[in-house]
Amino acid sequence: MEASAGNRVARATAMVAFACSIVLSPVAASATELSLAPNPWLAVDRNRDGIVSDIVSRWAEVTKSAKTGVLSETQLRDALAKLRADQLFSASLAGDYTALLSILVDAGAAIDVTTSTKPQQKVAGSGPELVYTPITPCRILDTRFSGGGSFTAGATQSFKATNPAGTFSSQGGSPTNCGIPVKAQSVTVNFTVFNTGAGPAFITAWPFNQANPGTATLNWTSPGAQVANGAILPVCTGAGCTSDFNLFASSSTDLVADIVGYFTQPSGGFVLTVAPSGAQYTSIQAAIDAAAAVASGAQPYMVKVAPGTYFEHVTLKDFVDVEGSGRYVTNVRRNNGWPTVTAGAAANLRGMTITNTSPGAFGSGGGATGVHQAASSANGFTQLVDVNVLGIGPGENRGVSVDNGTLHVIATEVQAGPSTNPVGTSTAVALLSNQSAFVRVRDSRLFVNSSAAGTRGVIRRNNTSTVLVNNSVLDGAEIVGGPTCVSVFDRMLQVRTCN
């Protein structure tokens, strides 16, 4: 569907104020009115008609379908007109019709209806759907007390906007995390400058990992001015974000920043997303670490990983589950060290493939191990559910290795040794259980591939460890050490005898 040129120009003009960052016209404040900074949602309200028209135009093909449960164009326009500025902003970012309708229903602007069964495609350039959470205004920066000190003319400084695991004291701000439990994607901030140098001058705020956009977030005209302005500021996301945003000052000034709200994914504050691009994080470990900083037994978190291949070492953390998009579409690989995944936390890992192809022998720090556990957390143990685990390097190979603690392997396939190139005289063990480990395998398949000359074992149980195998296939080599079995089957589903 193509809008007229006039409509496109009108929509583009309306969206400039908020597509990436909302920058308002500067408003002067008296010396005693630092707390009365302008509302950053004014830009949305001032462009309300254009924003509504843009949303209606974007979903015109859907509204014209006349399907049961789909709002007509008039109904959609009327519902959008009822939204608050922050709700309208979220509606403008909805990536599919179901998400848009959910925003309208949650806001009380539309009745709960059954949506069309026609698949809705994400609109190119519409951005991720975000949910706005307002907070009591909280100071994150005050250059009079810290945060790098006052700005000199032409200086750029970098700052945190959200800090779930810490405080803003080092920036001269609150000794708390301002009540923001997760890393946000955008924040609403009121900036105030004072003790300003020569003007006309300005400050610019932009995400840490991007180039200076060359636009002004706040302006002043003369020395000693005190000016406040509000902005919606996207922050740095993904790997390498040691700070959240940059600030540039064209003239000397002191500056304070008060955060009044933040945007996160619509799944809420307890799910973090990972994808090669377009999600909160590009690294699984970065998302786990961010969640673990605030997760608890009362409020566990999930790291949801999109399809793709992620080359990294992942260490699980307590109360943070990690879920891929399916065994054959989400892959975590490591080829320069072992293991690919370090287990032992109170967490579940599910719906992905874990591969290690590192060369060498284990005695020299090499070898390939998919999952390794040294011990369990005092808070619980790890479960591998619906996972493929592959230790398939050119040297020694282990699928799953457990030295201590408890590990459950459920509906999972574990392989040691590459299928097309047996490991010759090297070790290949699908499941290695040592010391006082307790390992339960259920509804799974353990497979080892090695030449007759190699040290091999589909299961090797050492020391006082316990291995319970229930309703599972043990394929390709012998059992060493004899697990305690309830029921064990070979590849032909014939009952095996456990030693």
- For residue 445, what are its two tokens? 């398949």
Q: How far apart are CA 22 and CA 7, in angstroms?
A: 21
Quickly list DSSP for 336-356. SSS-SEE--SSEEEEEEEEEE
Domains and their CATH numbers in the chain: 5-22+31-126 (no CATH), 132-264 (2.60.120), 271-489 (2.160.20.10)
Q: How far apart are CA 339 and CA 336, in angstroms?
A: 9
Q: What is the pLDDT of residues 293-308, one digit of tens each?
A: 878 887 788 898 988 9
Of the ranges 150-159, 268-277, 363-372, which is most confident? 150-159
Neighbours of 225 (CB within 10 A): 21
- This prediction's pTM: 0.49
Amino acid in the structure at residue 328: Y
Cis bond upstream, residue 339 (ω within 30): yes
pLDDT score at 420: 62
pLDDT reading at 499 higher than 50: no
pLDDT reading at 118 higher than 60: no
Q: How far apart are CA 165 and CA 183, in angstroms?
A: 10
pLDDT score at 165: 81
pLDDT score at 11: 39
pLDDT reading at 272 higher than 90: no
Q: What is the pLDDT of residues 28-80, one digit of tens each?
A: 333 333 333 445 566 677 778 878 888 888 888 787 766 656 788 888 888 88
Cβ neighbours for 466, distance < 8 A, ≥ 6 positions apart = 433, 437, 438, 439, 483, 484
Q: How far apart are CA 223 and CA 408, in angstroms?
A: 67
Helix (H/G/I), strand (E/B), else coil: 288: helix
Cis bond upstream, residue 175 (ω within 30): no
